[in-house]
Every structure is written in C-alpha cells, then in structure tokens.
C-alpha cells in the first residue's frame, strides 16, 4: 500500500484537498486499495480551511511514501515543528510534493534548494525573490525535479495528482482517473497557467461572444467581418469596443487563441507540425512559426524539443 500524507498548515486552501480525490478514484480503477491518504497538522484535531470548512487531522507523525503539502492562503513563516517534520520525512519518503503556495513551505524548509519548482502564478515572483536558490518556473502547471514535485495553484493540484498516479500505476489508469473526475483535458506539466480567454477578460457579453466564437472556429478564416457579425456589431463598432475591452486588436487576440491551442497539441506530441498548424487555424507552418517566435521567443520545433528534453529528464528521475 502506498501511503500519502497531506500536511496542512494555517488556513489552507480547500482546493488542496481536491487532489486526494484523484488517489481515491485511482483505488477504484486499480481494483484495490493502492493509496491510503492521511491528513496531518501541527497539533492534530480539527483544522479549518480559509473558507471555513473543517477537516479532521492527525498530529504530525509517522512515515509515508508521498509527502504532500497543501497550500496555505497566507504566506507566513511556518511553525518550526512543521518544518522539522518536513525535513525529516523528505529525507526518507519516496517523493515530496506541494500544491499551490505549499511550495513556500517546502522552500522555507530548504527542500527546494537547487530544484525546479512552481506555484500559483500570483506568487511565482515572490517565491523567487524570497528563495533565490529555487529555480522557479513561472508558466508550468507542475514541475518534477528528481523526487520533488510542485504544482501551480488551485486545480493544478489535480493535474499534479494525476501525474503522480501515472508515475505509480501507469498512463492508462491515470487516463481512467481523469475521466472519472470528469476532467475535460488532462494537462501536462508544461502547459501555461493562464488561458488566453481569461487574460483578455472581455467585459461585455458581445465581445465575450465574439471571443467564444473565435475559440470554437479557429480553423475558419475568422475575418473581422465574421467576428463583428458574431458580436452583432458593425465592423467599426466592434473594432473600437474590442480594443477598449481587451487591450489588443481582434487579429492579435485570434493569434493568441491559436497559439494556445497549438502549444497544447505540440505538448501532447502526437501531431505533426503541419497537423497542428491546420487544426489551430494557421494557414501554414511558417505563419505558425512566426506567431510562436512572437509569443515565446521559440519556434514550434524548439518548444517541442524543449518539452521532450524536460520530459526525458523527469522520467530519468
């Protein structure tokens, strides 16, 4: 049996507990109780999340195979007994992981020194500033460096848990667990944290409708006239309103949506560059290449090569 210990500190984020659901579902699809999950805190007893939901915990003790640290809402110094427990267990557990701002606790304990790590996008720069020995990767959903895993914020903890399940039980079980959790898309670690649609944050329903139309029809030409019609505005009204609400031109917004879809397809690795260009609406690979260089400073081939190298390094560990 694989023992998972979830450590909660302070007013923890309740979403950190969502990762435990992946281990529960994994037991079902594995056909046996492969995972046993326990939650611990400094004093044991009832621990309250930042939203007020309380869970029962045990006092810090025992050994485990996977040591998992939940993300606290407030970034504050951790109790010394917690840090001592983490250092001790990190040295003898099979792997150590954090969800969201739990990376700050691992960093405070010195466990992330010299390691690649990530956290919620709101706090990546603060993590780097506080702990310069940590190699913070701002864009990744999760990282895997040797025995140490970290995830970005909120739902990224589920992506991390699925990766841990795959590491233990294989890809097919992980896929079944993702399906059991009704996850639309199982994300790899290299995927960026913020979506293009969210970053544009259109204020009006009309502009949001146009963006949704564009996202659903990327393989079409998506002319200015098409987008204006979707918003039920004249071209002139649409162009002015779109720039006011998103801070960019419709053409740049469509390119950002296409780049996002293309990057995910390249990360999955099962499509050729030509297939990715076609599916994401770029008329040819050269046009996609120029868009990628503008967005990431790398060509699609260079980005795919980088992701493969990172994946190979992670598998070696």
The catalytic site residues sit at 100
Q: What CA–CA distances, in Å, run from 151 to 32, 46, 102, 281, 316?
A: 27, 25, 9, 31, 19
Instruction: Express the helix, strand and coil content of the chain in percent, nearest 5 each.
Output: 50, 15, 35
Alpha-carbon gap, residue 210 to 170, rounded angstroms:
40
Q: Which residue in 305, 295, 104 sits closest to 199, CA to CA?
A: 295
Q: Which residue in 20, 64, 310, 11 sits closest to 181, CA to CA?
A: 20
Encoding tokens for residue 296? 């990431």
Angle 285-296/300-316 helices, nearest 10 degrees?
60
The residue written with tokens 């699609």 in the block is 300
DSSP label of 78? P
Q: Nearest-5° angle of CA 131, CA 123, CA 197?
A: 145
308 contacts: CB under 8 Å, gap ≥ 6: 269
Confirm if 173 and 214 have CB atoms less than 8 A apart: no
Q: Per-residue b/e over 148-184, b at no fewer than 16 CB within 10 Å? A: bbbbbbbbbbbbbbbbbbbbbbeeebbbbbbeebebe
The H helix count followed by the E strand count for the chain is 14, 10
C-alpha dihedral (199, 204, 209, 210), degrees to nearest 10 = -70
C-alpha dihedral (192, 197, 203, 207), degrees to nearest 10 = 160
């Amino acid at each position: 049996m694989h023992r998972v210990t979830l450590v909660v500190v302070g007013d923890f984020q309740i979403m950190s507990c969502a990762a435990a659901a992946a281990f529960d579902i994994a037991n079902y699809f594995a056909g046996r109780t492969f995972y046993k999950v326990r939650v611990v805190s400094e004093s044991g007893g009832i621990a309250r999340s930042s939203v007020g939901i309380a869970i029962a915990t045990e006092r810090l003790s025992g050994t485990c195979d996977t040591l998992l640290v939940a993300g606290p809402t407030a970034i504050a110094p951790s109790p010394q007994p917690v840090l001592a427990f983490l250092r001790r267990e990190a040295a003898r557990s099979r792997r150590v992981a954090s969800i969201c701002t739990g990376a700050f606790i691992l960093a405070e304990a010195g466990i992330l020194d010299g390691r690649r790590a990530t956290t919620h996008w709101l706090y990546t720069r603060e993590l780097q500033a506080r702990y310069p020995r940590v190699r913070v990767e701002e864009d990744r959903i999760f990282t895997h460096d040797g025995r140490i895993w970290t995830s970005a914020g909120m739902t990224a903890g589920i992506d991390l848990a699925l990766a841990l399940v795959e590491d233990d039980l294989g890809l097919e079980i992980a896929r079944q667990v993702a399906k059991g959790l009704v996850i639309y898309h199982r994300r790899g670690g290299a995927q960026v944290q913020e979506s293009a649609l969210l970053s544009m944050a259109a204020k009006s329903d009309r502009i949001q409708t146009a963006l949704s139309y564009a996202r659903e029809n990327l393989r079409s030409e998506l002319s200015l006239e098409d987008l204006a019609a979707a918003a039920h505005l004249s071209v002139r009204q649409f162009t002015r309103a779109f720039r006011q609400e998103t801070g960019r031109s419709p053409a740049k917004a469509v390119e950002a949506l296409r780049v996002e879809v293309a990057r995910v397809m390249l990360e999955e690795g099962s499509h050729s560059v030509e297939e990715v260009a076609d599916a994401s609406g770029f008329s040819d690979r050269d046009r996609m290449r120029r868009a990628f260089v503008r967005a990431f400073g790398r060509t699609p081939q260079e980005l795919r090569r980088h992701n493969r190298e990172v994946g190979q390094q992670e598998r070696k560990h």
